[in-house]
């Protein structure tokens, strides 16, 4: 029989397969080690990741100074009625050229949500009715008055009623002390008539 007509025996086949598997396994481990080395290699410092706005914001806030033409965007939520209001104001001149810490000290009741030299956004929850409501409540002397939020964050006197709070039943006095909101003057008058009777 000729040499090339010989069939390889089982031991030779098994040795050939074992060598191939060993070679394939070694190449796989080598590739995994290379990927691991690339993945663990420290990167050089670069600009803050734009996908993480808080990281960029912290760096910008530390160095940013307010410009003289900066606008304050104030978002207010009125807790008794749940309404919201946003107003835009010019930066007070004394804060021009100042940083975030100075602004936060001047507006300590507000939470600054974004800070840039030309525009600052802030928000606050206020325990009063919004400008859409008339508010019936006693003044400092105990007389009932009608107030309205004319400034966004403060009530202004609309009219004084010639009725002391003390003349109303106790339950109604408790309801009016913190202020009761009405959408219209007619609604307020109707409620007051029913309360007095």
Query: At 7, is the pLDDT very low, low, confident or very high (cuts 50, 70, 90)?
Result: low
What is the 8-class DSSP label of residue 110?
S
pLDDT > 70 fraction of the chain, expressed in percent and rounded = 79
Query: At 190, is the pLDDT very low, low, confident or very high (cuts 50, 70, 90)?
Result: very high
DSSP 21-66: HHHHHHHHHHHHHHHHHHHHSPPPP-SPPTT-HHHHHHHHHHH---
Residues 138, 140, 142: CA angle, nearest 5 degrees: 50
Residues with Cβ within 8 Å of residue 83, at least 6 apart in sequence: 77, 130, 132
Strand partners, 157: 147
* pLDDT, tens digit (0-9, with 9 covering 90-100), for 126-142: 999 999 999 999 999 99
Joined together, the tokens standing for residue 161 give: 């009623």
Q: What is the pLDDT of residue 136?
A: 96
Q: What is the pLDDT of residue 14?
A: 65
10 Å Cβ neighbour count for 143? Answer: 14
Closest residue by Cα to residue 95 from 75, 74, 114, 69: 69
**Whether 74 contacts 124, CB under 8 Å:** yes
The answer to whether residue 44 scores a pLDDT higher than 70 is no
Q: Which of the pair, 27 or 189, is modelled with greater confidence?
A: 189
Q: What is the pTM of this model?
A: 0.62
* pLDDT, tens digit (0-9, with 9 covering 90-100), for 50-91: 455 544 454 456 678 999 999 999 999 999 999 999 999 999
Question: For the chain, first and last CA: distance in Å?
Answer: 128
Burial of 118 (C-beta count, 10 Å sphere; 0-12/13-18/19+): exposed
Do you know the residue count of the chain?
A: 197
Query: At 46, is the pLDDT very low, low, confident or very high (cuts 50, 70, 90)?
Result: very low
């Amino acid at each position: 029989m000729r040499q090339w007509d010989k069939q390889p025996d089982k031991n030779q086949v098994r040795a050939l397969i074992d060598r191939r598997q060993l070679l394939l396994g070694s190449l796989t481990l080598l590739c995994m080690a290379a990927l691991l080395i690339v993945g663990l290699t420290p990167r050089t410092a670069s600009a803050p990741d734009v996908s993480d706005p808080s990281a960029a914001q912290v760096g910008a806030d530390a160095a940013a100074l307010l410009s003289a033409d900066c606008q304050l965007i104030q978002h207010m939520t009125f807790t008794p009625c749940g309404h919201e209001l946003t107003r835009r104001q010019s930066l007070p001149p004394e804060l021009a050229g100042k940083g975030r810490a100075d602004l936060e000290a001047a507006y300590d009741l507000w939470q600054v949500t974004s800070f840039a030299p030309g525009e600052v956004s802030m928000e606050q929850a206020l325990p009063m009715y919004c400008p859409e409501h008339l508010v019936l409540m006693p003044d400092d002397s105990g007389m009932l008055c009608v107030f309205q939020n004319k400034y966004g964050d403060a009530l202004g006197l609309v009219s004084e009623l010639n009725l002391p709070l003390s003349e109303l039943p106790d339950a109604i006095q408790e309801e009016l002390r913190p202020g009761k909101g009405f959408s219209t003057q007619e609604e307020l008058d109707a409620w007051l008539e029913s309360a007095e009777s």
